[in-house]
Structure 1
Amino acid sequence: MEGKFDFLNLQFFTKASVYPGSIGTFRYRFQRTGWMNDGTIQVWVYENISFELAQDVETETFPWTEEGVEAIRAWLTEKLETRGSEPYRIWAGNHVRDGKSEEAKA
């Protein structure tokens, strides 16, 4: 069975110094510092909201090595299982019309 984070490898983190991502409503973010085999990668997981507004944030820092990337995959897999994920959908906001909520109309 293929893991959700199998795409993560040492070279992946050379693409950008900051990388946000998501699996449905499960959000994560990476920020690397230093250089491969000598730097670190900080990883955050947070709720389905922008990173800047998130309140339920967990973070961990790993070495930017093969072992560190393997630990990142394991940590993210555990957090995904714990936090769960739902398919991403765009909220239409149909419950508010003409300035009145559906509850106020009832």
Structure 2
Amino acid sequence: MFCNEGSDNDILDDDEEASMSSAKPSEIDPFDTVYSNIPDNTHILKVDENCKHCKARKFESETDGFCCRNGQIELKQPEPIPELMRLWSSMDADSRHFRENIRFFNG
């Protein structure tokens, strides 16, 4: 016995296809919502020279030595964490997973 499943129901006339396509809800692109409020212009701070003592970048209104009290305070540079460096620079499965989901881990 030959079984032809749903052959009569699968064929639609051109009129039926047109009416079904107009009945489909329009899909909303989630990126339209995200990118709809981007400003047309940006505010950029004026460039000011770096601190003479610690070479920190300064805002325009900061006085000289504001960041380090004219060299009295010395900030220690943190040592990189070996495991994080491996995750960031390696090509193994753990590292790829880390980089692909970095927003999740940062959250």
Higher relative contact order (CA 8 A, sep 6+): 1
Normalised to the residue count of structure 1, the TM-score between the two structures is 0.21
Give the structure with the higher percent helix.
2
